[in-house]
């Protein structure tokens, strides 16, 4: 469950950040073109994947990543109950601990996004 009504703007900003990271890497490593981008996106990251794909296509026009394939790898959410110290898969934010029912749950994984790999030439 994610909150906020500006989803498309959020994903467009994320796409711009991904392109900036790619361009910085190209400058440092000397590649001229990106064919494929693999992004790991956590199940709890509040990223609308189709909006991100659209944003990526828009922001990469005229760049070294133009027409690059965007592959998204979804990573599972993970949580830890602060009351009973149980670690468990977390399908949504603000979910109760399956062991003790407490809502004092800390997200320990699956809430981020990162570039995992680039196929370049």
Distance between CA atoms of residues 89 and 9, nearest Å: 29
How high is the pLDDT of residue 9? 77
Query: How many other C-beta atoms are found inside a 10 Å radius of the C-beta of residue 26?
Result: 18
Q: What is the pLDDT of residues 58-110, one digit of tens each?
A: 999 999 999 999 999 999 999 999 999 999 999 999 999 999 999 999 999 99
Look at 48 and 5; give whichever has higher pLDDT: 48
pTM score, whole prediction: 0.84
Q: What is the pLDDT of residues 35-60, one digit of tens each?
A: 999 999 999 999 999 999 999 999 99
Q: Per CATH, is 7-120 categorized as 3.30.2320.80? A: yes
Distance between CA atoms of residues 68 and 99, nearest Å: 44
Instruction: Give the start-to-end residue ranges of the domains of the chain.
Output: 7-120
Distance between CA atoms of residues 87 and 48, nearest Å: 26
């Amino acid at each position: 469950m994610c909150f906020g009504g500006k989803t498309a703007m959020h994903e467009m900003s994320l796409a711009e950040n991904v392109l900036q990271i790619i361009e910085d890497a190209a400058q440092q490593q000397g590649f001229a073109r990106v064919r494929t981008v693999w992004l790991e996106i956590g199940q709890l990251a509040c990223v609308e994947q189709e909006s991100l794909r659209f944003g990526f296509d828009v922001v990469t026009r005229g760049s070294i990543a133009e027409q690059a394939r965007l592959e998204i790898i979804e990573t599972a959410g993970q949580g830890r109950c602060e009351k009973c110290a149980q670690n468990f898969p977390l399908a949504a934010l603000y979910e109760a601990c399956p062991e003790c029912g407490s809502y004092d749950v800390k997200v320990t994984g699956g809430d981020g996004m990162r570039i995992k790999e680039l196929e370049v030439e």
